Amino acid sequence: MSEATDADTERWLDLEVKLAYQERLIQELDQLVRDFAARLDKAERELEQIKQAMPPPVPLGAINEPPPHY
C-alpha cells in the first residue's frame, strides 16, 4: 500500500473540519426548531384560553333582512 500523501491528508482534514461545522450547525438548527415548537405550543394554548374567555357570538339577523331603521 502507498502512504498517504500530504494532499490526501489535507483533504481528509478539510472533510473532518466541514463535518464538525455541519454537526454543530445541525445541533443549532435542531435547538432552534425545538424552541419554535415550544413557542408555538404556548401560543396555541394561549389562543385557546382567549377563545374560551370570549363570550359567544351574538347571532345576526338574516342577510337579506333590511336594517331596523327602514
pLDDT tens by residue, 3-54: 679 999 999 999 999 999 999 999 999 999 999 999 999 999 999 999 999 9
- In this model, does residue 57 exceed pLDDT 90? no
Long-range contacts of 52-57 (CB under 8 A, 24+ apart): none
Q: What is the reported pLDDT for 26?
A: 98
Residue 4 φ then ψ, to 5°: -70, 135
- Alpha-carbon distance of 41 to 35, in angstroms, equals 10
- What's this model's pTM, rounded to 2 decimal places? 0.62
| Alpha-helical runs (H) found in 1-56 | 6-53
Cell of 22: 455541519
How sure is the predictor about 61, in pLDDT bands with cuts at 50, 70 and 90? low
